[in-house]
Amino acid sequence: VTDAVSSTWISSLGKYIDKFEADFAAFCGTQYGVATSNGTVAIHLALVTLGIGKDDEVIMPDLSFIATANTVLQAGAIPVFVDIDPYSLCIDPAAVERAITPRTKAIMPVHLYGHPADMPAINAIAAKHNLVVIEDAAEAHGATIGSQKVGGFGVCGCFSFYGNKNITTGEGGMITTNDEALYQKLRYLRDHAMSKEKRYW
């Protein structure tokens, strides 16, 4: 901590942010990590970067923290709530399939209380209907299905490091992904679309 503070790079940039992003992505079994100011920003940034906006529908469970739905509204899209599985308390894949309409663009399973949603079933539905999957993994750092950790099942996973999470930075969030083009665009938008050649105009 002393070294980080002494470096004067205590937010946004610096070797500790780079290391945190790389190490957390590796922990989740993904290639890339993009740190954000919190988990809500992580979800909103993922939605915007994936082009989900006005009148698009995002299917999510009806049991979650309000940030899951708020970010969809903030992006201009429509949250579509479906029932949960009574055993896992996570989104019910059968309910997801029943809720798909021509306006559906994404499925956002929430790994609630550290319990992973049924990602194989959700991914199969998404592939069948050409939908993207954004994992809300805010409460599930390290949760696994078989040998694979959450955050690596969807096109991206969104984590929170709020004070009540099992890994905390006080505030903070992270997006994990294996998609290099998505990673580059996430970083670009997170950093106010600054040019690599000329940051300030």
Query: One of 15, 165, 196, 198 is an active-site residue; which one?
Result: 165
User: CB of 28 within 8 A of CB of 52?
Assistant: no
**Residue 3 belongs to what H/E stretch?**
helix 2-6
Distance in angstroms (rounded) separating the CA atoms of residues 128 and 104: 13
Other CB atoms within 10 Å distance of the CB of residue 66:
9
Among 154, 171, 153, residue whose Cα is nearest residue 162: 171
Verify whether residue 128 is a known catalytic residue.
Answer: no
Catalytic center residues: 165
